[in-house]
Amino acid sequence: MPSANLIALLKRILPPPAPPLDADTEAKLLAAVHRVMPSGIVTALLLPGLTAAAFWHEASRGALLAWCAAMLLQAAGCAWFYLGYLRDIPTLSRSAHTRKWRDPMRGVAVLVGLSWGSAALLHLVSSSPVFSGVLLVLTLGALAGGASSQAPAPVNLLYVGIPILVPNLLLAGYAFPGHGGYIRLLLVIYALMLARHALNLHGSLVRAIRLEGESRRLARQFQQEKERALHASEEKSRFLAAASHDLRQPVHALVMLVEALRARNDSPALRPLVEQVAAGTQTIDLLFRSLLDLSKLEGRKVLPTLEPCDVGQLVREVCDQFAGDARAAGLRLSPRVAGELHAMAEPVLLRRALFNLVQNALRYTRQGRVLVGARMRGSQVRIEVWDTGAGIPAEHLPDIFGPYFQVHNPQRDRSHGLGLGLAIFKECVRLMRGTYGVRSVPGKGSMFWFTLNPAPAESVATIRAMRRDAVAQHAMPDRLHGEVLVVDDDSHVRNAWIALMEAWGVRVSCAADGAEAERMFAGGLRPDIIFCDLRLPGTENGLALLERWQQTQPQARSALLTGDLKSAALAEAEEAGYFVLPKPVDPGALRMLLRRWLRTA
């Protein structure tokens, strides 16, 4: 019965046994024991010598020397373990290394316990109470050091603790007459406390090792997911680079055909319809450009380049774009711009930011109006979107710019959008180095705003001069004259070029590839301008063709046409100084280029 009570007491004092350890954890625990070995070696060499010197005249000198020899033997055993352990690390696997040095580590633990336990025998050769007290302190220190150093391997606590405790328990009455029972109880309680501390430390080490392993696993998993995401992003970029040429072709042909239709139309009755078709085509062109440009900015590897943008024109264009939706919802959508405003922005991001605000305002306004305004406020250009919608409660205002958050769509009805509009708006404004905010009154409406830095005065002056020049050139009644060669593998694009150039009075020849163009040159064609697609069938490259034709057609100006987002050939062409026209080609920019080049041709 007493033994059963003792076992129950020990179960309460000591932590429950830990589950079996895997090989990796056991190897790391063995390494932890190894790391503290040098301090044990120094202690085994230093303390016995100091103790023997201090009590040389109060104890048997032979016994003191014998104890110092035992401690020297312990230091040698620990040094053998330490050096051997280090030597085998590069040559053995972790599991083999652990198996080889597990048992020697236990042998070293026994040696440490015996050498420190042998100090209790010195009580027999000295009658000095001070010396006995010092030996007791050394014993307590040895127990504490053994518990701490062997905590990674709890079984070793027995190999260290029992050889130290047993001699001291047996000789406690001899060393401290009349107080032997107290000293024994003190040693047992102290040993149990150290054992509990060591087991808790062991548990903490095991948890730390497992957390480290889990962290590394998660880090590897994160790295793999990151690499997969980067690979997917690179695949998407390659797809866009490969497909953009073909995707742009129909839009490119449509823009040129509509411009040719505008130039040829002489009917006043058809003019409004043609202008509507032209406006719709420009919107398609703009949205297509925005889609491709946003895909380039999506990586966020570099901040976008800001340029002067006409805020008033953008506000009017966005209002025109949503005019039909507003009328269908019974709402009034109106722009209000205070004079001419130019802000430093990225055109695609600026349009997307304003687009999302107006779209949100129309979506959550049931009656009344939506007002889109722009004005100077202090030193900033401020753009505002007012609505008479449901408004937003104050407690939701901090959350509305987060992704997937919708105040008035708790059912997550996908017909009301995904809740990404304001998150995209926030990101667009951030990339343009602007600020944003909202004021709202529930039941009355909301006002969203964002500010941008104004464009420098000299940039605005340049824009105005270019605009006046463009208007003047567009109003010039003379027709263009000259010979143009277009090299493009798409028959629809070639037909669109023919229609537009003939409408402008320019003679045009078209070739599907370089070989056909060479035959035209052999037949006597001497063009004033050569427009060549960068990507052609097979291995042909527009840049290589233009460089060759510089020698055979020195009278011709050259320009590259491309729908690529990015490519080595495009970078090489820009570096070589070639004029590059992105697809779909802007008719206004093309006409200005023809006027400049054909005038001197």
Q: What is the pLDDT of residue 416?
A: 44
Could you list the residue range(s) of the whole structural domain that residue 355 is in?
A: 303-457
> Do residues 453 and 566 share a domain?
no
Range with the poorest average pLDDT among 21-35, 148-162, 396-410:
396-410
> Do residues 453 and 490 share a domain?
no
Residue 291 pLDDT greater than 60, yes or no = no
> Do residues 437 and 540 share a domain?
no
Percent of the chain with pLDDT over 90: 16
| Structural contact between residues 292 and 244, judged by C-beta atoms closer than 8 angstroms | yes
| H/E segment holding residue 521 | helix 514-522
Residue 194 pLDDT greater than 50, yes or no = yes
For residue 381, name the pLDDT band (cuts at 50, 70, 90): very high
Q: Is position 113 within any domain?
A: yes
| Structural contact between residues 281 and 258, judged by C-beta atoms closer than 8 angstroms | yes
End-to-end CA distance of the chain: 117
Range with the poorest average pLDDT among 14-28, 220-234, 455-469, 549-563:
14-28
Range with the poorest average pLDDT among 39-53, 238-252, 372-386, 392-406:
238-252
Of residues 473 and 431, more confidence is placed in 431
The conformational region for residue 455 under phi > 0 = left, psi -120 to 50 = alpha, else beta, is beta
For residue 540, name the pLDDT band (cuts at 50, 70, 90): confident
CATH number of residue 566's parent domain: 3.40.50.2300
For residue 415, name the pLDDT band (cuts at 50, 70, 90): very low
Q: What is the pLDDT of residue 476?
A: 55
> Do residues 416 and 509 share a domain?
no
Q: What is the pLDDT of residue 8?
A: 63
Q: Is position 116 within any domain?
A: yes
For residue 406, name the pLDDT band (cuts at 50, 70, 90): low
Average pLDDT on 344-359 reads: 88
Query: Strand, helix or coil at 345?
Result: strand
| Structural contact between residues 556 and 485, judged by C-beta atoms closer than 8 angstroms | yes
> Do residues 162 and 81 share a domain?
yes
Residue 413 pLDDT greater than 60, yes or no = no
Q: Is position 581 within any domain?
A: yes
- For 159-191, b/e burial (b = at least 16 CB within 10 A) is bbbebbbebbbebbeebbeeebeebbeebeebb
> Do residues 87 and 40 share a domain?
yes
Range with the poorest average pLDDT among 18-22, 263-267, 416-420:
416-420
Distance separating alpha carbons of residues 526 and 484, to the nearest angstrom: 9
> Do residues 339 and 404 share a domain?
yes
Q: Is position 47 within any domain?
A: yes
| Structural contact between residues 137 and 124, judged by C-beta atoms closer than 8 angstroms | no
Q: What is the pLDDT of residue 31?
A: 84
19-42 pLDDT, tens per residue? Answer: 566 777 888 888 888 888 898 889
- What value, to the nearest 5°, has the Cα angle with vertex 330 and ends 329 and 331? 95
Distance separating alpha carbons of residues 597 and 232, to the nearest angstrom: 44
The size of the chain, in residues, is 601
Average pLDDT on 242-249 reads: 60
Domain boundary among 150, 178, 206: 178
Q: What is the pLDDT of residue 600?
A: 42
Residue 472 pLDDT greater than 80, yes or no = no
CATH number of residue 391's parent domain: 3.30.565.10
Range with the poorest average pLDDT among 425-434, 465-474, 571-580:
465-474
> Do residues 587 and 474 share a domain?
yes
Q: Which residue has the tokens 């802000």?
A: 343
> Do residues 422 and 547 share a domain?
no
Domain boundary among 432, 457, 482: 457
Q: Is position 272 within any domain?
A: no
Residue 301 pLDDT greater than 70, yes or no = no
Domain boundary among 178, 206, 232: 178
418-458 pLDDT, tens per residue? Answer: 456 787 788 889 888 999 999 988 888 999 999 999 988 88
Q: What is the pLDDT of residue 19?
A: 58
Number of structural domains, the chain? 3
For residue 518, name the pLDDT band (cuts at 50, 70, 90): very high
Average pLDDT on 559-567 reads: 73
Q: Is position 21 within any domain?
A: yes
> Do residues 417 and 489 share a domain?
no
Range with the poorest average pLDDT among 127-141, 171-185, 280-294:
280-294
Task: Give me the chain's average pLDDT, please.
Answer: 81
> Do residues 513 and 421 share a domain?
no
Q: Is position 289 within any domain?
A: no
> Do residues 555 and 431 share a domain?
no
Q: What is the pLDDT of residue 414?
A: 39
Closest CA to 541 of 523, 554, 560: 560
Q: From the CA atom positions of the chain, what is the Rg in Å?
A: 43
The conformational region for residue 593 under phi > 0 = left, psi -120 to 50 = alpha, else beta, is alpha
Cα within 13 Å of Cα(10), Cβ side: 12
Residue 510 pLDDT greater than 50, yes or no = yes
Q: Is position 218 within any domain?
A: no
Average pLDDT on 166-182 reads: 88
